Structures are given as structure tokens and as C-alpha cells.
Amino acid sequence: MKISKKILIIEDEKTLARALELKLIHSGFEVKKVFNGEDGIALLQKESFSLILLDLIMPKMDGFTVLAVLKGKKIKTPVMVLTNLSQDNDVKRTKEFGVKEFVIKSNTPIATIVERVIKLLK
């Protein structure tokens, strides 16, 4: 039996974090979730994950800062940004941190997100 991949959800909107968690667990992933960037960084320093699902607008530490801190700490866990920001410049800023996937939550069915996660971790 293959070892299940571990995913970290950093998302302040609890209902959305919960929906993602349910869906991903259902698809066979191990999932941990935190509600702000600070907790995310703290957890990432203790544990390693296969993928981070990262929101951008969050209290305490936003997603952009998380990306900067990860870069500074040389934590190279792949990141999928899940956000409701969609301005070109927001996309560009995250891409500059090497983010490959930029998903706009309101425009994307949750099933599609799960598909993309599976594809990324294949």
C-alpha cells in the first residue's frame, strides 16, 4: 500500500478549509489545516508536506508573506495558491515565488481543485 501524501491547508475561511479537507481526505490524502500564515510556517518547520494549499488574504500573516518566508527558509514544498484575488499583478507576484498553480476559488468547482491536486502529486 502506498504512503498517503500529506497536504497542508492554510486558509482562514474555516468553512472553505473544512470543505477542502473533507474532499481531499475522501480522495485518500492526509490533511492538516491551519487558519493563518503564522501557524502554517510554524507547522512547516516541524513537519514536511507534499503540497501546500495557500490562501492569500489572511490575518496575522498573509499568503504573500508566507511565500516570502518559505523562500527565505528554503522550504521548497510545492504551493498551490487558492484565492479569490484575481488581479494580474497578484498572479504575477505569486508566480515570482515559483507558484505553479493559481486557483480562483469562486470560479472553480471543488472537484476540479481535487483533480488538480491529484495531477500535481502524481
Partner 1 sequence: MKFHKKIISASDNIALKLAILAKEKESARRKLVVTAKQLAVTAKEKESIRRKLAVTAKQLAVTAEEKESTRRKLVVTAQELKKSYGTLEKKVLRRTKDLEQIKSKNEAILTSIGDGLVVVDKEGKISYINKSFEEMLGWKTQEIVGKSMVEVVPREDLNGIEVSFKERILTQVLAGQKFVADLTNPFYYIRKDKSRFPASSIVAPVVLNKKIVGAVEVFRDITKEKEIDKAKTEFVSLASHQLRTPLSTVNWYSEMLLTGDVGEVTSEQKKYLEEIYNGNQRMVDLVNTLLDVSRIEMGTFMVEPKPTDIVKLARSVIDEQKLQIDEKKIKLSPSFEDNIPLVRADPKLLRMVIQNLLSNAVKYTPEIGKVGISISLDNEKNVILKLSDTGYGIPKNQQDKIFTKLFRADNVIGKDTEGTGLGLYIAKSIVEQAGGKLWFESIENKGTTFYATLPLGEVKKKRGAKAFSSR
Applying CB under 8 A, does 111 fall inside the site for partner 1?
yes
CB of 56 to partner 1, least distance (A): 8
d(CA 91, CA 97): 10
- Pick one of 10, 81, 90, 102: the residue that binds partner 1 (CB under 8 A): 90
d(CA 103, CA 3): 27
* The C-alpha cell that represents 34 in the structure block: 491551519
Applying CB under 8 A, does 104 fall inside the site for partner 1?
yes
* Phi, psi torsion values for 59, nearest 5 degrees: -70, 170
* The C-alpha cell that represents 21 in the structure block: 479537507
CB 69 within 8 A of CB 100: no
Applying CB under 8 A, does 118 fall inside the site for partner 1?
no
Segment interacting with partner 1, rule: CB under 8 A, options 28-36, 41-49, 66-74, 100-108: 100-108
Applying CB under 8 A, does 105 fall inside the site for partner 1?
yes
The number of beta carbons lying within 10 Å of the beta carbon of residue 60 is: 12
- Pick one of 16, 61, 68, 118: the residue that binds partner 1 (CB under 8 A): 16
d(CA 111, CA 97): 26
Contact mark string toward partner 1, 39..78, x via CB under 8 A: ------------------x---------------------
Contact residues: partner 1, CB under 8 A: 13, 15-16, 19, 22-23, 26, 57, 83-90, 92, 104-107, 109-111
